[in-house]
Amino acid sequence: AQSVTQLGSHVSVSEGALVLLRCNYSSSVPPYLFWYVQYPNQGLQLLLKYTSAATLVKGINGFEAEFKKSETSFHLTKPSAHMSDAAEYFCAVSGGGKLIFGQGTELSVKP
């Protein structure tokens, strides 16, 4: 069975600081991994996805993630946080035609 674990339910950074949101996966087959962002009372928007091509994936809004098989990780990063990045972030793995989500990480950005 596939699963993802997001380390840290809440992360707080200062505006302009590095954003690092952690995601570890468990999968018996090569995984397809996704990062989504959710703003309050809205659906989810895809930030980026890994589908076994380049291990460093660049997404929208300056976010990127690196697939590391040896560490079973797919951490999300952004060099410089912006106030508008404050939201809930979900890591997900695709398996059996459906998405399995992590618990989510709430990102707060302080001015």
Partner 1 sequence: GAVVSQHPSRVICKSGTSVKIECRSLDFQATTMFWYRQFPKQSLMLMATSNEGSKATYEQGVEKDKFLINHASLTLSTLTVTSAHPEDSSFYICSAKGGRIDTTEAFFGQGTRLTVV
Applying CB under 8 A, the residues found at the interface with partner 1 are 32, 34, 36, 41-46, 49, 51-52, 90, 94-104, 106
Between CA 81 and CA 14 the distance in angstroms is 7
Residue 108 contacts residue 21 (beta carbons within 8 Å) = no
Judged by CB, which is closer to partner 1: 66, or 106? Answer: 106
Judged by CB, which is closer to partner 1: 43, or 111? Answer: 43
Judged by CB, which is closer to partner 1: 17, or 32? Answer: 32
Phi/psi for 84 (5° steps) reads -70, -10
